[in-house]
Chains A and B, each alone.
Chain A
Amino acid sequence: MKRTRADTEASHRKISRRAAVLGGVQLAFVGGLAARMNFLQVDQADQFRLLAEDNRIKDSLIPPARGEVFDRNGVQLAKNVPSYRIVVKREDIGDVDEALERLSRVVRLDPDDLERALTEMKRSAPFHPITVAENVSWEDISRVSVNAPALPGVTPEVGLSRIYPLGSNFAHVLGYVGPVSDYDLQQIEAPDQLLLIPRFQIGKVGVEAKQEDRLRGEAGVKREEVNATGRVMRELDRREGRQGADLQLTIDAGLQNYVQARLGEESASAVVMDCETGDLVAIASSPSFDPNLFVRGISVADYKGLTENTYRPLSSKSVQGAYPPGSTFKMMTALAALEEGMAQPDETVYCPGHLEVSGRRFHCWKRGGHGYVDLQNSLKQSCDVYYYDLALKVGIEKISAMAQRFGLGVRHDVPMSAISEGLTPTKDWKRRVHGQEWVIGDTVNASIGQGFMLASPLQLAVMTARIATGRDVSPRLVKSVDGVEEPSTAGENMGLNENNLRKLRSAMFDVVNDRRGTAYGSRIIAEEMRMAGKTGTSQVRNITAAERARGVISNNDLPWERRDHALFVNFAPFDKPKYAVSIVVEHGGGGSSTAAPIARDITLQALYGGEPPLDAYPSKDRGRIETQQEQLRGVRPMADLGGSDQA
């Protein structure tokens, strides 16, 4: 085919034109790319730089060691012990099934754990360590270590786990720790990142929960560079955390062990408070439970056993229980009347065995009556009519106000769970809560600690300590944090008439030490240790007129849950009060028969700081005490377990 020069020129011009058009389009496109590059790399650079850092940097927390808890003498109550677990990395173990088979020949593996580990292994990256067994014994760990050459990719790891050496004796005080639950997270407004660590444990109840902030410490942070698959390439930065603070409690472990043992299997609680300082040296509730079970994860059967027990072992009765204080409240009624000038200690009231108030008959516990009684005699014999009379004179408002000054109806600031506020009723309260007017009968009932009146053993101990000292001493459970003493709660003088207080104490002394006192049987013989106290027997049922006509049924003939609560409060030594004690034995019968002996034994134990000499007891009790001491020695090894840490 021939071509002419003109043809060629024409087509060349055409091509050049078209090339210019296409070149222009290309240039425009290149410009567009440059603009896009500018947008991404200049305008949005900061945002993408952040995203890139997010990609590559993984911050992980280093959990702090939880603070440990000691008693006032340094006995360890809660400690961290190394716990061993076996960890495998898929990338190192080769054939998974075969490797686990080999491992199971060395240590016993739980099939459930194993199954969970296998599913976890399938989901995660091969270099990710998977726990196949937890809480492995030291023997098993040693066996794994010895067989290490045959078990590539299997490594024993050590962590910390919480144990409570004194077990059930401190269950209600310390509580226990457990893994963070979804519920826990919901409760906290801005949860610490630490709580999100799998298997991280926090305090669930008791001191462990209430002092969580101090015990937990602060997490360290490990900043690592990871690649796209999550493998750690190198550590970029590390900030060490702060270990949790060690707590020293005011509790005396030896005494606590004794108290818990002395309460035995009764549904009872006891508080021993140092009157001078407010220190709670023992605060016990029985029956108790082993908190270590909860740390490891309690079995359904065990848990059911605890919740279905009618004696409510999970309930911390010493602070949580709210009982009608019964006659132990009489000191408050008396003091209210005395302080208001409505009564004089020596004035007498005639007790015919009952009191007629606005058409209703209120009985004294003694059908025949006590005759003419003054403060001293009324308290000693626990005459009810005397207090009905005082209460009618002074009124409920003054009585409740006085009770509040003595720590009843007040939620004490003690780091334990479910602290009860108790109840000191007022006219306004009844109107507000029950929508009913206060009637005079309510006042009469309240005067002897019945009716609406409610108090916890802790509150009763505080009340007793305040009577003993005249100071508004408050309970203290934490003695020091990391060796730094907590503020004193010894309190100030309450500004009460010292003469009235002295009369009251003297009456309480007679309760125990006068032959006609209700707690004479539980007196202390040792001169310098003698105690003053008050019995209480609070009804949990109404005694109907018909019942009364038939004759009140004795407690022993009633089903357990309808029997009276037995209460006792005391302080000792009388001359220089050191300890205030309160005891409540649920449905225990009478305060003098059931509660007072326990209180006396505990008081002596506290005062002597160990096993008291037999001659401190009344001679007729010594035989019984001797066998009791014998028995209690048998249940002491728990204390020895704690003691061995000091050695």
Chain B
Amino acid sequence: MSYLEYTVKSVPAGFRKILYLNWPLTILLASVAGIGFLMLYSVAGGSYSPWAEPQMKRFALGLVLMVMIGMVPIWFWRSISSVAYGVSVMLLIGVEFFGSIGMGAQRWIDLGFIRLQPSELMKVTLVMFLAAYYDWLPPSKKSRPFWVLIPVVVILVPTALVLRQPDLGTAILLMAAGGGLMFLAGVHWTYFAAVLAAGIGLITAVFQSRDTSWQLIKNYQFRRIDTFIDPSSDPLGAGYHITQSKIALGSGGWTGRGFMQGTQSRLNFLPEKHTDFIFTTLAEEFGFVGGLSLLVLYALIIFFCVISAVNNRDRFSSLLTLGIALNFFLFFSVNMSMVMGLAPVVGVPLPLVSYGGSAMLVLMLAFGFVQSAHIHRPR
């Protein structure tokens, strides 16, 4: 008999639940997605096709998905979280065998109507499973080595699979999200200190492995790191992305060059202008003001999630909400760092703005859990 169960009576029922949605969050999500449509319209040279229109349809679908998931009681999601985690891991193994090759990495499973990236799904189901785990685990045990080792394994299994694809960006995000959730759950800080030390050791090992038989990451990833450290070393080759991206950002100035006036994106100087590098177009066309506005919107989404989580007495709900918020934060901060030349170019899209079906749907699914936690919070 959990704490939730005797407060169920005060939870709204039926379609009335819609009124109890986290509306500020919903509006923020729609606003960010709206900016995305605008940018996709712009990078297509003022056309709804090929990107803006499908993106709008997917967002509409995602919105429906979010509300539907939100209306399902949170305890249902908690009860299926281990199954969801299991399925995600299976799918990750699946891409090993049935995945398509895209951008030099094996990432997708083609489900016919959608090309699913299991690694996207994994980011959500991992925090979901960990939230359920810490909800189940008595707080007194959470810092005991054995009970710490279990979530570590839970995190490392999908991370290793993602790394094999290879998708360094997502692997890092998975570890960061999982670790973050353990931190939120209250695992003793010494573990994090130890992991941090180990992480530094690992990075050293990765660099040491270069040009050896046991090389841990692919050459292109090494090259990306090289050009991250010194983009000017190869301005037309590997450093091209970052250099052009910075030029686009910088040339935006205070207020930008105007909607659809960004020469860098319009003339194809920007790579991946509709996906990973879409922020550069925004920054070029709307300048510092535009870029900062998006950043503020993102921060507000995090803020409303945190508020919702802190006001939620259900441990699973608050951990899940915080975990998803953390995921979301990692998404946009890594992407923005990347385009601003602060992080290596790793394939991380800008959440809700970058063109891409599976990322968008998975994100809306995750916010569905946040909505469910919000609606079904104990009162």
Contacts and interface: CB of A to CB of B under 8 A. Distances in A.
A94 B99 CA distance: 35
Interface in B127-164: 136, 138-139
A209 to B, nearest CB: 39
Given A11-B139, A15-B184, A30-B299, A38 B288 contact: yes
A31 to B, nearest CB: 9
A47 to B, nearest CB: 7
Interface in A43-90: 44-45, 47-49, 51-53, 55-56
A23 B321 CA distance: 13
A14 interface: yes
A228 interface: yes
A19 B263 contact: no
Interface in B286-318: 287-288, 291-292, 295, 298-299, 302-303, 306, 309-310, 313, 315, 318
A172 to B, nearest CB: 49
B204 interface: no
B184 A3 contact: no
A14 B139 CA distance: 10
Interface string A24-45: 0011011001101110111011
Interface residues of A, number: 45
B306 to A, nearest CB: 5
B246 interface: yes
A22 interface: yes
Contacts of B253: 41-42, 45, 49
6 contacts: A19-B309, A22-B326, A34-B295, A36-B340, A52-B269, A55-B269
Given A22-B326, A52-B264, A55-B269, A40 B246 contact: yes
A8 B313 contact: yes
Interface of B: 1-3, 136, 138-139, 180, 183-186, 244, 246-254, 263-264, 267-269, 283-284, 287-288, 291-292, 295, 298-299, 302-303, 306, 309-310, 313, 315, 318-319, 322, 326, 329, 333, 336-337, 340-342
Shortest 9 CB-CB contacts between residues of A and residues of B: A48-B250, A52-B251, A45-B253, A227-B267, A41-B288, A228-B268, A14-B186, A49-B251, A56-B263
Given A5-B3, A11-B139, A55-B267, A45 B295 contact: no
B315 A33 contact: no
B283 A41 contact: yes
Contact of A19 (B1, B291, B310): B310
A8 to B, nearest CB: 5
Nearest to A233: B267
Contacts of A41: 249-250, 252-254, 283, 287-288, 291
A625 to B, nearest CB: 74
Contact of A45 (B180, B254, B303): B254
Given A38-B288, A42-B253, A51 B315 contact: no
Contacts of B184: 15, 18-19, 22
Contacts of B249: 37, 40-41, 48
Contacts of B283: 37, 41
Interface of A: 1-3, 5, 7-8, 10-12, 14-16, 18-19, 21-23, 26-27, 29-30, 33-34, 36-38, 40-42, 44-45, 47-49, 51-53, 55-56, 225-229, 233
Nearest to B255: A41
B193 to A, nearest CB: 14
A11 B291 CA distance: 38
Contact of B246 (A3, A14, A18, A48): A48
A393 to B, nearest CB: 80
A464 to B, nearest CB: 67
Most buried by A among B138, B247, B251, B340: B251
Contacts of A26: 299, 302, 326, 329, 333
Nearest to A17: B186
B254 A30 contact: no
Given A14-B186, A52-B263, A1 B315 contact: no
A23 B299 CA distance: 10
Contacts of B329: 26, 29
Contacts of B183: 18, 21-22
A12 B340 contact: no
Given A15-B186, A33-B295, A56 B315 contact: no
A110 B250 CA distance: 50
A27 B322 CA distance: 14
Given A8-B313, A37-B249, A225-B267, 13 more contacts: A3-B2, A5-B3, A11-B186, A15-B184, A18-B185, A19-B322, A23-B306, A26-B302, A41-B250, A41-B288, A52-B263, A55-B244, A56-B264
Given A41-B291, A55-B263, A3 B3 contact: yes
B251 A51 contact: yes
A399 B46 CA distance: 87
Nearest to B182: A18
Contacts of A44: 250
Given A15-B318, A42-B253, A29 B288 contact: no
Nearest to B319: A15
Contact of B322 (A10, A15, A45): A15
